[in-house]
Amino acid sequence: MTKQEKLLASLKMAKTFKWASVETLFSQLGYEQKQMKGSRVRFYNKDTSRTVMLHTPHPENEVKGGALKDIKEHLKLEGYL
């Protein structure tokens, strides 16, 4: 099982997910990360022209709640989950 497959499998059942894992996963899936104003981050995939906008979690370093739901929905639409 590759690192990407492990991250996707752990994301499926996760209630929280480390921000570093989100960055790694999107990078492995071909997304470019761009820091926007403040804590906003955009992940853009040139191949599919799809974008995911998120906020870097703070003060913790874990994504949860609505942001995690948005990530899961986006990856389902793209066929990864």
Do 31 and 43 form a contact (C-beta atoms < 8 A)? yes
Please give the model's pTM, rounded to 2 decimal places.
Answer: 0.90
pLDDT mean by block of 10 residues, the chain; 81 residues:
88 93 94 94 92 91 92 92 87
Q: What is the pLDDT of residue 48?
A: 87
Helix axes 19-28, 3-13, angle to 10 degrees: 130
- Based on its alpha-carbon atoms, the radius of gyration of the chain, rounded to whole angstroms, reads 12
The domains located in the chain, with CATH, are 3-77 (3.30.920.30)
Q: What is the pLDDT of residue 1?
A: 81
Other Cβ atoms closer than 10 A to 49: 7
